[in-house]
Structures are given as C-alpha cells and as structure tokens.
Structure 1
C-alpha cells in the first residue's frame, strides 16, 4: 500500500509557510484562538475551492469523512461548521490578501520569461473588473442597485502568464474608472483598458508616471487632427493620426497630444478606435495590444466557472473578501505548481485532474500523465495559454 502524501498535501507543499505565518502575525490572526488556527481556516476554504463544496455543512461533512488523512495534510484543529463560520466572520481578510500578494510575486518570477503573442520589450498589463451578483437581503452592505447587491473584483493582469498582479474588491456601486487612482503604475509598462476607463485626467496621470496606455475611445470623442501618419490598410488599420482634444474639460485633463488609431477587425467586421500615448509602436501593434486585453476577460470567466465565488459561505464583508482571496490564492498555487512540475496540459485540465484526485496518494506528475493517456484527443501543450478548455 502506498503511504506517500495525498495530492492535496503535495499541492500545499508549494505554499511558503513562513510568509503565511508572517501575514497571520501582522494581523494577529491567532489572538485568543487556540483550537482552530488561521492555517486550518485556509485549508478548509482551499478544500472548498478545489472540491466544489458550497456550504459550511458540506465542507464539514466531506472533510470529516477523510478524518484519518487530515492531520497529515496539515489540519491541527477539529473541523466544524460553527468554528469555520466564526473564523470567516472574525479573522481579518487582509491575512489572505497579503498572502495572495506573496503568491503573486512567486508566480510572476516563474512566468517572467514567458513570451506573449506580441514582440514587445515592455511589460504588458490588462486592467478590468467583473461584477459578482449577490442577494440584497443577505448582503445589504454590498451596495449596487435598488433591488440587487454585488461586489466588484478590479484586477490587473500581467499578460506574461497571465497572472493577476493587483486585485481590489469593492462594492458594486464603485465606478470602474475610480480605480485608476489606486492602480499601481510601473514606468515604461503598457496598460490595455476598455472604454469604461476613459478619463483624460486619470490617463494623463499614467502618462506623467512614464507609462503607456492603450484604451478604446468612446463614440462621442471630440478631437482635432494635427496630422496623419502612413498606414497599411492590409493590416486592418484605417487611420493613424496625431490628435489633440478640443473640449474644455478633456483638454484640461489631457493637455498634450494623443495618438488615434482606427482599426477594422476583419473577423467580426467591426470598426474600433483606440487612443494611446505611445507614438513609437506600429499602428497594427496598438490594435494587437488591445486584443490581448481579452485575457483578463478570460481570466474572469475562468475564475467564475471553475472556482467557487458565486455562492458564499458567509454574509459579512470579511467573509466574502476572505473567500475571494483564498480563491485567488488557489488559482495562483495551481499555476505555480504547474510551472514548477513542468505540467504541459492547460491550467483548466490540470485543475480538473486535481479536483477529482485530492486524496489520492500518487505523485501529481504521474497522476496527470495517466489521466492524459486516457484521452486520445489532441491536447494543446502551449504553456502560454492557461485558459484553453
């Protein structure tokens, strides 16, 4: 009989426990708590994410059915729904946020040498948000509309991975454009955004910090063309212009020149107009950068479909943020494990294999190899695309 560690335990071995304990100490996560540690809470929420458990009773029943394995996984306290509910309500969610940032740093270092579909020397990021609908009766603090509650997850994605590098969770009422005030901006980096982020004063702030942006223009853009640059219509580019804004408010917000690129997407037969402060890259590259922004949309779709943040096991703001951040930690942990073990299947396929084998006692690499052999269909072994499914 094989007595090695379970798949769940092997996955957890890639967690930096020292940094986790530092995050716990920073917010006094163990204050007056002797029986159910912060790590026990993290393991319960991590198991819920991996195994698809969506209620406190469900988590309690399923974990206790593997009672003899829990100690070897890392549990030191008894798992009960009341204890877990109390921990979700009281224990500071910022513990998991800070630990998420630790995992982000690890993932970025592992994926920093990965290429993207564009030949760029600068870092490329995509910024967007997704709305998670909630019940107004159960979550009255999550202001959104008169009859609906929601929270928003504002996310900055490093497209060399793609890895979430910055996440902010707000109520649904917070407008997306306001988050540009908090966005961490790196010099020489390029930020791709949708037209919901067109605020010329805030875009000028990014420009003054030495970074670049590519944003889709709104239909009511008022501008004056200074001159046009040569274009190649075969690439889909219809116009490449240097412009200046003309309305009083927009010109006050962004007093310098901008570049306007008009592009026709031949696949969808749709005309798109982009604004950027980068005057060096080719016009078709501007369009390609915006197309890469869809990676953040795919990330949101992946998170919502394959991690459990649609139903919450607590109703307070602390419980909701804790669950979302643990979900992000699991995403990052799976991405880190995949990279370190050299797993060649997509992240979704890898997670599927882990989900149904959490308590198997086989090496993860062997488990993946055996699972992939069972399917004779073709697999895309491109490690750059984590979202194939």
Structure 2
C-alpha cells in the first residue's frame, strides 16, 4: 500500500515554488504577514478550485475537518475565513497573474507539437471574451449596464493544447476590439477572431508586425474586387477573391489588399464571408481555421462549469482577480500534469477524480487512472448495467 504524500501534495509539487517566491518578493506579498503567507494562500485557493468550494465558510469547514492533514498539504496553521478574506483583499493580484503566466509558458512548450489537423506550421490563436455577470450593489467597481455589473475575461487561446497565452480581466464596459491594443503581435502567427474585432486600423497593426488574421466581414463592409481565383463549389467555396477597401477611412487605415472568401456551410446552409491577409493556403483551410475558433468558446464554457469563476469569495476588484487567476493556474496545472504523466483521461475527468481524492495517499503517475474504466462519454460511473442478465 502506498503511504507517501497525499494527492494534493503531489499536485502542488508540480508547481515551480522558487519562481512563485521570487514573484512574491518582487511585489512584497508577505510584508507584515504573520499568518497565511502567499504560498499557503495559493494552496488554499487551489484546494477550493479543485474541490468546488462555494464560499469562505465552505473552505474553512472542509479544511477544519481535515486538520490533521493540513501540515502535509503545506498549510501550517488552521484556516479562518476572516484571515482568508483579508488575504484575498490585500495580496496583490499581480502575484497570481504573473505566476499563472509562468505556468502558461511551461504548458505551451509541452503542447507545442500538438497536431491542429491543418497543414500549417504557424502558431494559431483564437481571440474572444466572456462576460461574468455580477451584482452591481456588491461590485460597484465593475459597471456594465444601468442595473448590472460584470467583468470580462479577454482571452487569447493557443489552439495547440487549448492553453490561454494572454488573459486580460476588465470591467464589463470594455469593448472587445480594444484588447488588440494590448496584444504584442507574434510574427507569422495567425489570429482568428469574430466580427467584434473588425477594426482595420488595428488589423493593419497585426499585418505590419508580420502576423496574419482571419475574421468575418460585416454586412456594411465596403469592398471592391481586384481578382477572382478559381473556387471549388463542391467544398462550399463560392468565391475566393483579392479585394481592396473602398471606404475613405478604411482604405486609409488598411491600404493593402485583403482576401475575401465566401463560404456556404453545407450543414447549416449559412453563408459566411471571411477576410484575411493570409493568401497562401487554400480557401478551405481558411474556413477550417475560423471553425477552430470555436475552441475558445468551449474553453470559456469549460472553466465556467468546472472551476469557480462565477461565484466569488470576495467583492473587491483585487479579490475577484486573485480568484480568476488562481482558477487559470489550476486549469493550466492540470494540463501540465496530464501531458507530463501522459494521462489519457480528459481534463474534466481528472478534475472530477481529483475533487474526491485530494486527501488520499495514492501515487500520481501514468497508472493513476485505469482508462479501461472510463466510459466513452468521459465520465466515471459505478452504476450497474440495467439490462445485464
């Protein structure tokens, strides 16, 4: 029988704690702190994410029930909700944001060779945002509408491994297109985004930096055809054209030619018009690139369902950002562990199993889960077969 570390302690061993300590020192995170230093604070919040705790009282009760094991979790003193509330309020959220970025860098290296299913060697990013609704009376610093508050999570997702490479948390009023001003374009990378980001001055900034983009045209986009390439209607490609912007300001902001592809989806019969500065690949590849953008929507849905970013442990801006960045760190940590240990189950299955086994003394290795027991729907079940003779 395995009598070593608990599963939670083994998970935490994958984190670069030396790097975390340097970041804490840079922001003086432990200055005048007598209890619950930043390392323990992060462990507690990671525990809350992994076990789906809903409130500070919930966290306190669960950890109190396992008080004999707290030391082996790396937590040196009992956790009180008032202490945890103060830490969420006062510890600089940039500590947890920068640490998450270090984990993201590790994960992207691990997933760099993932196959996108496209004949492209470029790094492909999907850019989008999701809105998290809040109560205006409790979160007055995040105005959205006259009676609502919200925060937006703007995310640039690396489609090789679905790892977020850039995240910006803003109030609900920030328009999506403004995030393009915060990005540092990566030469030769492909940025896939929807019509909310159709701003020709900003898109020319991507083009000028040597990057490529794929987006959709709006109905009022004024374009004139320069050249038409042969198109294969059997693939749904109605036209593949080189175009120029006709509007005075749009042409001034983007003076170069663009590629326009009109595509009719054979499944939905819906016609889509794509604009891109990527002229090399065949038109069906451009359509598949835009279809891959859906991965960022699935990412938002996944983290909202399986991590705690819809209900917050504090109402201040700092507390909300600390919780969001900790959730991102947990997501990326599980992705790192999955890759390093070559675990076959999905991230969802791993999180489900971790949530009920954190205090168990079981080895975390490639044989951690018997994949034969995982059903096709990626759920673990111990139900009897109703129709078994």
Which residue matches 1:387?
Answer: none
Aligned counterparts of 1:44 and 1:203: Cα–Cα separation in 2: 42
Task: Indicate whether 1:41 and 2:41 are aligned.
Answer: yes
Deviations 1:124-145 (A, max 9, x none): 1111000000000100010110
Change (3 A) 1:160 1:376: closer
> Is contact 2:3-2:362 (8 Å) kept?
no
Change (3 A) 1:138 1:27: same
Aligned counterparts of 2:55 and 2:249: Cα–Cα separation in 1: 50
Task: Indicate whether 1:285 and 2:285 are aligned.
Answer: yes
Which residue matches 2:25?
Answer: 25
1:149 aligned counterpart, secondary structure: strand
Which residue matches 2:235?
Answer: 235
1:151 aligned counterpart, secondary structure: strand
Which residue matches 1:90?
Answer: 90
Change (3 A) 1:366 1:233: closer
> Is contact 1:131-1:150 (8 Å) kept?
yes
Which residue matches 2:121?
Answer: 121
Which residue matches 2:329?
Answer: 329
The root-mean-square deviation of aligned C-alpha atoms, in Å, is 1.4
Which residue matches 1:99?
Answer: 99
Structure 2 counterparts to residues 1-389 of structure 1, below 5 A:
2-365=2-365, 368-370=368-370, 372-375=371-374, 377=376
Deviations 1:321-362 (A, max 9, x none): 000000000000000011111101111111111111111111
Which residue matches 1:385?
Answer: none
> Is contact 1:37-1:77 (8 Å) kept?
no
Deviations 1:124-171 (A, max 9, x none): 111100000000010001011001100000000111111100100000
Which segments of 5 or more consecutive residues in structure 1 lack a partner in the other structure? Answer: 381-389
Answer with 190-199 or 248-257: which moved more. Answer: 248-257
The alpha carbon displacement at 1:183 in A equals 1.2
The alpha carbon displacement at 1:377 in A equals 4.3
The alpha carbon displacement at 1:279 in A equals 1.1
The alpha carbon displacement at 1:375 in A equals 4.3
Aligned counterparts of 2:264 and 2:253: Cα–Cα separation in 1: 29
Aligned counterparts of 1:214 and 1:186: Cα–Cα separation in 2: 15
Change (3 A) 1:246 1:57: same
Which segments of 5 or more consecutive residues in structure 2 lack a partner in the other structure? Answer: 380-389
1:139 aligned counterpart, secondary structure: coil
> Is contact 1:350-1:368 (8 Å) kept?
no
Aligned counterparts of 1:48 and 1:267: Cα–Cα separation in 2: 42
The alpha carbon displacement at 1:77 in A equals 3.1
Count of residue pairs the alignment pairs up: 379
The alpha carbon displacement at 1:2 in A equals 4.1
1:364 aligned counterpart, secondary structure: coil
Aligned counterparts of 2:36 and 2:161: Cα–Cα separation in 1: 35
Aligned counterparts of 2:366 and 2:158: Cα–Cα separation in 1: 30
> Is contact 2:7-2:361 (8 Å) kept?
yes
2:225 aligned counterpart, secondary structure: strand
Structure 1 residue ranges (4+ consecutive) displaced by more than 4 angstroms after TM superposition: 375-380
The alpha carbon displacement at 1:367 in A equals 7.0
Which residue matches 2:384?
Answer: none
Deviations 1:258-294 (A, max 9, x none): 1101111112221110000111111111101101111
Deviations 1:176-232 (A, max 9, x none): 001100112100110000000000000001000000000011111111111101111
